[in-house]
C-alpha cells in the first residue's frame, strides 16, 4: 500500500517517503491564544487530527508537534496598538499570561469536545525565546539578516541573490511582491518592504518583552515555528501543516529561515487545509462572520435551527476532503445528522447478526476493504472513505433483512474493520453509548450520596433521592451486593 500526499510545494500528489522508515515527524501551526477559537479554526485542527489518526492507523509511529502561539506578534501595519495580545489585555484588564492561560484552556476544552487527540508535544512560543534569539544571531552572522533600530529583519533580496527562491511555496514572484507592498510594517527600518521581522524592538507600550543582544523586544511570529519544529523534529522533517491562509507569508518565511539557517529545505511535505465558510464567506473573527463551537453545540445562535452534537459536527467536517472549501449550513448539518444516525444504527445491528457459513454472500469484504484503504491512502480522502463505509452500511441492513449472508469469520472481520475506521480513524463517537455511560456515572454518584445520607441517619434526604429518581422512572433496589438501579 502506497500513501500519496498532496504536497503544496510540488503542487501535486506525491508518494510519501518518510525520512526514517516507519516514522513520521509532523508539525502543525497551533492557535494564537488571545481569544476563543471559532469553528473555522476547529476545522483545520480537526483535519490534521484525522491525518494524524490515519498515519497512526497505517502503522506509522508519529511524533506530532502542535505549538501554542502565546507571544505577541504584530499585525501587518506594525502598530503596537493592533497587537492582538496587547489589545485583548487592555480589553479584559488581564495580565498577558492570564489571557494566554484562559484561551489555552478554552482551546483544549473545545478540541476535547470534538474528540481530537492531543499532540505528542505542545510547545509554546514564550517557552522558546532563547532558541529564537540563537536563530536570529545565526542569521545575522551568515548575512541573511540585519539589525535596524533594535529590530532584526530577514533580508529577502540577499536570500534570492544567493540563488534561493523566496516565493517558492506560494508561487509568488519577488518583483511582483515588491510592487504590491506598502512599507508600513517596519516604517523605514527595513532595506526592502518584503523583509520580515525576526526580532521586534518593544515600544514602551508593549508588555510582553524579553532581553536580547538588540535590546528589549519580542520574537517575530514566523521564527517561533522554525525554532520549535527544528528543536523537536530536526532541521528537515516529514510533514508541516496549517490552514491555507498560512501559506503566505508564514510558511514561505519558515522555508526561507530554515534554508538560510541550515542550508536544507526544512520540510519534505507541506500540507494545507482548506477553509470553513459560512454564508459563502470565510469564517473569521475580524469580519464577524463566525460561530463559536459552543454556540453550535448548545444551539444558542441564530444561524442553525437546532443544536448539534460535536460528533455530528465532526462527521460533517469529514464529509468534505481537507483540501476542499466547506460551507457550513443548517441543511448540511441536518444531512450529516441523518447519515451519522444510520451509520451508528448499522454498527448496532452488526452486533445482533447471526453468521451463516453455508450460504455465500454477493458482498466481497476484501474488495471493500481495499477500496477503503485506497481512499485513505489517496491523500486522506475522507469523503470517499465515508462513501465506502456506507456500502457496508447498506450491506448490514441487507443482512438484517436476511437478503444477504455472512460467515462467522467475515462478520468478525467486518466488525473490526468498520469499528476501526469509524472510531479510530474518523474519530467519531457513539453518542448513545456515551450518554449511557454518563448516565451510569451520574447515578453512581447519586447512589453514593444516598448511602452517605443513610449512614448519617438523614433518612429524609435518602428517601428524597430515591423518590425523585423513581418519579423519573429510575428505581433503586437495595440488595446484599449494594444498590442497583433499573430504568423503565
Is 156 among the residues that bind Zn ion (CB under 5 A)? no
Residue 217 interacts with, from Zn ion, ligand AMP, none (CB under 5-8 Å by kind)? none
What is the secondary structure of 389-429 as a DSSP string? HHHHHHHHHHHHTTSS---HHHHHHHHHHHHIIIIIIS---
In angstroms, what is the minimal distance from the CB of 280 to ligand AMP? 12
Cα dist from 390 to 47, 348, 421, whole Å: 21, 14, 12
CA dist 310 and 42 (Å) reads: 11
Beta-bridge partners for 201: 217
Q: Which residues are annotated as a binding site for ATP?
A: 285
Residue 225 interacts with, from Zn ion, ligand AMP, none (CB under 5-8 Å by kind)? Zn ion
* Residues in binding contact with Zn ion, number by CB under 5 A: 2
Residue 245 interacts with, from Zn ion, ligand AMP, none (CB under 5-8 Å by kind)? ligand AMP
Q: What is the DSSP letter of 121?
A: B
**Closer to Zn ion by Cβ: residue 39 or 267:** 267
**Closer to ligand AMP by Cβ: residue 112 or 448:** 112
CA dist 30 and 125 (Å) reads: 10
Report the length, in residues, of the chain: 488
CA dist 463 and 453 (Å) reads: 9
**Closer to ligand AMP by Cβ: residue 7 or 32:** 32
In angstroms, what is the minimal distance from the CB of 353 to ligand AMP? 40
Is 225 among the residues that bind Zn ion (CB under 5 A)? yes
Please say whether the beta carbons of 115 and 103 come within 8 A: no
In angstroms, what is the minimal distance from the CB of 286 to ligand AMP? 10
**Closer to Zn ion by Cβ: residue 241 or 339:** 241
**Closer to Zn ion by Cβ: residue 225 or 312:** 225
Is 253 among the residues that bind Zn ion (CB under 5 A)? no
Is 65 among the residues that bind Zn ion (CB under 5 A)? no
Residue with cell 523583509: 195
In angstroms, what is the minimal distance from the CB of 28 to Zn ion? 8
**Closer to ligand AMP by Cβ: residue 9 or 283:** 283
Q: What is the DSSP letter of 483?
A: E
Q: Which residues are annotated as a binding site?
A: 29, 225, 250, 254, 285
In angstroms, what is the minimal distance from the CB of 273 to ligand AMP? 6
Residue with cell 525554532: 227
Residue 275 interacts with, from Zn ion, ligand AMP, none (CB under 5-8 Å by kind)? ligand AMP
Is 375 among the residues that bind Zn ion (CB under 5 A)? no
What is the secondary structure of 136-176 as a DSSP string? HHHHHHTTSEEEETTEEEE-HHHHHHTT--TTTTTT--HHH
CA dist 129 and 135 (Å) reads: 10
Residue 88 interacts with, from ligand AMP, Zn ion, none (CB under 5-8 Å by kind)? none
Task: Find the binding residues for Zn ion in span 20-39 (CB under 5 A).
Answer: 29
User: Which residues contact ligand AMP by CB under 6 A?
Assistant: 29, 31-32, 40-41, 43-44, 242-243, 245-246, 275-276, 282-284
**Closer to ligand AMP by Cβ: residue 43 or 450:** 43
CA dist 258 and 121 (Å) reads: 20
Angle between helices 382-400 and 408-419 (to 10 degrees): 140
**Closest residue to bound ligand AMP by CB:** 243
In angstroms, what is the minimal distance from the CB of 44 to ligand AMP? 4
CA dist 53 and 74 (Å) reads: 34
Residue with cell 496598538: 81
CA dist 431 and 318 (Å) reads: 17
Q: What is the DSSP letter of 482?
A: E
Q: Which residues are annotated as a binding site for Zn(2+)?
A: 29, 225, 250, 254
Q: Which stretch binds Zn ion (CB under 5 A): 110-118, 209-217, 224-232, 257-265?
A: 224-232
In angstroms, what is the minimal distance from the CB of 439 to Zn ion? 42
Residue 276 interacts with, from Zn ion, ligand AMP, none (CB under 5-8 Å by kind)? ligand AMP
> What is the contact surface with Zn ion in residues (CB under 5 A)?
29, 225
Amino acid at each position: 500500500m502506497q500513501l500519496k500526499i498532496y504536497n503544496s510545494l510540488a503542487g501535486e500528489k506525491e508518494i510519501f517517503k518518510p525520512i526514517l522508515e516507519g516514522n513520521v515527524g509532523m508539525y502543525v501551526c497551533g492557535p494564537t491564544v488571545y481569544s476563543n477559537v471559532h469553528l473555522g479554526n476547529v476545522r483545520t485542527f480537526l483535519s490534521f487530527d484525522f491525518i494524524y489518526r490515519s498515519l497512526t492507523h497505517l502503522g506509522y509511529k508519529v511524533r506530532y508537534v502542535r505549538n501554542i502561539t502565546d507571544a505577541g506578534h504584530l499585525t501587518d501595519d506594525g502598530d503596537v496598538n493592533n497587537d492582538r495580545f496587547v489589545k485583548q489585555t487592555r480589553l479584559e484588564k488581564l495580565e498577558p499570561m492570564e489571557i494566554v492561560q484562559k484561551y489555552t484552556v478554552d482551546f483544549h476544552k473545545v478540541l476535547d469536545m470534538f474528540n481530537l487527540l492531543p499532540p505528542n508535544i505542545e510547545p509554546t512560543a514564550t517557552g522558546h525565546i532563547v532558541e529564537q534569539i540563537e536563530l536570529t544571531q545565526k542569521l545575522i552572522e551568515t548575512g541573511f539578516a540585519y539589525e535596524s533600530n533594535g529590530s532584526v529583519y530577514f533580508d529577502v533580496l540577499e536570500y534570492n541573490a544567493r540563488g534561493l527562491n523566496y516565493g517558492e511555496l506560494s508561487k509568488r514572484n519577488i518583483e511582483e511582491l515588491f510592487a504590491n507592498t506598502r512599507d508600513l510594517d517596519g516604517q523605514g527600518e527595513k532595506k526592502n518592504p518584503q523583509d520580515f521581522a525576526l526580532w521586534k524592538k518593544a515600544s514602551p507600550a508593549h508588555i510582553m518583552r524579553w532581553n536580547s543582544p538588540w535590546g528589549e523586544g519580542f520574537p517575530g511570529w514566523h521564527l517561533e515555528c522554525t525554532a520549535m519544529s527544528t528543536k523537536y523534529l530536526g532541521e528537515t522533517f516529514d510533514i508541516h501543516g496549517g490552514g491555507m491562509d498560512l501559506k503566505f507569508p508564514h510558511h514561505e518565511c519558515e522555508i526561507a529561515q530554515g534554508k538560510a539557517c541550515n542550508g536544507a529545505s526544512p520540510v519534505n511535505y507541506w500540507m494545507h487545509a482548506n477553509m470553513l465558510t459560512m454564508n459563502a464567506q470565510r469564517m473569521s473573527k475580524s469580519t464577524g462572520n463566525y460561530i463559536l463551537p459552543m454556540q453550535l453545540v448548545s444551539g444558542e445562535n441564530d444561524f442553525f435551527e437546532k443544536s448539534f452534537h460535536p460528533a455530528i459536527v465532526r462527521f460533517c467536517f469529514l464529509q468534505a476532503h481537507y483540501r476542499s472549501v466547506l460551507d457550513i449550513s443548517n441543511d448540511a448539518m441536518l444531512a450529516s445528522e441523518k447519515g451519522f444516525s444510520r451509520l451508528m444504527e448499522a454498527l448496532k445491528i452488526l452486533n445482533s447478526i447471526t453468521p451463516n457459513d453455508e450460504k455465500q454472500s454477493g458482498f466481497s469484504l476484501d474488495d471493500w476493504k481495499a477500496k477503503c484503504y485506497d481512499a485513505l491512502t489517496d491523500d486522506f480522502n475522507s469523503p470517499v472513505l465515508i462513501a465506502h463505509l456506507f456500502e457496508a452500511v447498506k450491506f448490514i441492513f441487507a443482512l438484517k433483512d436476511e437478503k444477504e449472508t455472512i460467515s462467522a469469520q467475515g462478520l468478525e472481520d467486518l466488525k473490526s474493520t468498520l469499528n476501526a475506521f469509524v472510531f479510530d480513524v474518523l474519530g467519531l463517537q457513539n453518542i448513545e453509548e456515551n450518554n449511557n455511560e454518563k448516565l451510569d456515572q451520574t447515578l453512581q454518584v447519586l447512589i453514593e450520596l444516598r448511602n452517605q445520607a443513610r449512614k448519617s441517619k438523614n433518612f429524609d434526604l435518602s428517601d428524597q433521592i430515591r423518590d425523585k429518581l423513581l418519579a423519573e422512572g429510575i428505581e433503586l433496589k437495595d440488595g446484599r451486593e449494594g444498590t442497583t438501579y433499573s430504568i423503565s
